[in-house]
A = this chain, B = another copy of it.
């Protein structure tokens, strides 16, 4: 029971932490609530209720489903929903009208006598068309491109088409049918517009900005790792044996792992960013794809770090003479690379040309050359290859990291 009490007491705490972690979550929740409350005025206000009636609920449904955390996602879903409702409604209306005509033709007797039979022909036509459209549209969702951008729209298209046709079956005249379709479209548009306006105008959360920050912070995480690696890695060598132990400070070790895991998120953000209107320092046709390119290179770099990591964890004894030889250049390489990465991240953040990064990059390149020549005249009188291999491998991976950095720098310049 004490445990249960503790658990219950921890709930408000976790709420507060969640809010502190990213205060935009609180404003987002309030914005959603505001949107829902606003559109429910369609019910409260007598005049609006007279116009839309029960169809006012579609405005509520729209807001609940369309409102997403980032503005881009909301705009994308809102436009998808609006367009899909229009297309589905139009196609549905056409189908119902057609089915009604076919029903009339099959009905050889006056409509009053065989009303039941008349409806059967109409029902079969509607049923078959619903089946075909639903199957076809669902299959379309498997195209990767459509899945990425119009998935929600296709679902809504199926939904609207089905509802309009089957409701049309129960409505007697084309005019009533049109009225229902129109009311529904209007309420969906009201709901969608409410979402888009709130998400853009009140404390907007831009997917583009998130992407921008995520890419920059990924570079910084790599920089953190390299910095820590450079300063600690070969340090203890002066006391004789020299291990490559690095303090297991979780924060930067976890850092590069989170970089490795960021693929999907960045792609989603880039997808949404494309839907956002120009804001702040980002124009309308801002090259979001470039960010994905930098993100990919950062992940490549993180992969190389992952390959260094086993050596870092193990306490392999290094022969001191060899270590002394490569230590300086390795240290310099990782320190300078880390500085270069930091400058590149800063350049992305401030959206300036990354000119401050180049000297560091040059430094790390010259350190690389230094290392290469140092490796060339290593003498193996006192040591064997197996013993120095871990350190040598680390050095060689560092070389690859520097090469990777050059690519990143090029990409940032673009």
Closest CB of chain B to A161's CB: distance in Å?
A: 10
In chain B, what residue has the closest Cβ to A53? B170
Q: Could you tell me if B307 and A135 are in contact, using CB atoms closer than 8 angstroms?
A: no
On chain B, the residues within 8 Å of A263 by CB distance are: 261, 263-264
Closest CB of chain B to A7's CB: distance in Å?
A: 14
Contact of A142 among B18, B44, B163, B372 (CB under 8 A): B18
Q: Could you tell me if B385 and A396 are in contact, using CB atoms closer than 8 angstroms?
A: no
Size of A's binding interface in residues, CB under 8 A: 75
Q: How far is the CA of A141 from the CA of B13 in the complex (A)?
A: 16
In chain B, what residue has the closest Cβ to A119? B44
In chain B, what residue has the closest Cβ to A377? B384
In chain B, what residue has the closest Cβ to A24? B142
In chain B, what residue has the closest Cβ to A34? B131
Q: How far is the CA of A403 from the CA of B313 in the complex (A)?
A: 14
Known: A159-B60, A386-B375. A37 touches B127 (CB 8 A): yes
In chain B, what residue has the closest Cβ to A61? B159
On chain B, the residues within 8 Å of A143 by CB distance are: 14, 18
On chain B, the residues within 8 Å of A64 by CB distance are: 155, 158-159, 162
Q: Could you mark each residue 128-147 of chain A with 1 if its beta carbon is under 8 Å from any beta carbon of chain B, else 0?
A: 00111011101100110000
In chain B, what residue has the closest Cβ to A120? B44
Closest CB of chain B to A226's CB: distance in Å?
A: 16
Report A167-185 residues with CB < 8 Å from chain B CB.
167, 169-170
Known: A130-B37, A260-B303, A378-B385. A60 touches B18 (CB 8 A): no
Kindly report how many copies of this chain are found in the complex they form together: 2
Looking at chain A's contact residues, the main secondary structure is helix
On chain B, the residues within 8 Å of A28 by CB distance are: 138
Q: Could you tell me if B33 and A130 are in contact, using CB atoms closer than 8 angstroms?
A: yes
On chain B, the residues within 8 Å of A54 by CB distance are: 54, 167
In chain B, what residue has the closest Cβ to A389? B396
In chain B, what residue has the closest Cβ to A265? B264
A83 is an interface residue with CB less than 8 A from chain B: no
Closest CB of chain B to A122's CB: distance in Å?
A: 10
The 7 A-B residue pairs whose C-beta atoms are closest, nearest first, are A307-B307, A33-B135, A33-B134, A29-B139, A29-B138, A303-B306, A43-B166
Please give 17 more A-B residue pairs, beta carbons under 8 A apart, in addition to A37-B131, A37-B134, A389-B395.
Answer: A18-B142, A25-B142, A29-B139, A30-B135, A33-B138, A36-B130, A36-B131, A36-B158, A44-B169, A56-B166, A261-B263, A263-B263, A306-B307, A375-B384, A378-B384, A389-B392, A392-B396
A-B residue pairs in contact (CB < 8 Å), sample of 9: A28-B138, A36-B134, A37-B130, A40-B162, A57-B163, A261-B263, A263-B264, A300-B306, A392-B392
Which residues does A use to contact B, with CB under 8 Å? 14-15, 18-19, 25-26, 28-30, 32-34, 36-37, 40, 43-44, 49, 54, 56-57, 60-61, 64-65, 123, 127, 130-132, 134-136, 138-139, 142-143, 155, 158-159, 162-163, 166-167, 169-170, 260-261, 263-264, 300, 303-304, 306-307, 310, 372, 375-380, 384-386, 389-390, 392-393, 395-397, 400, 403
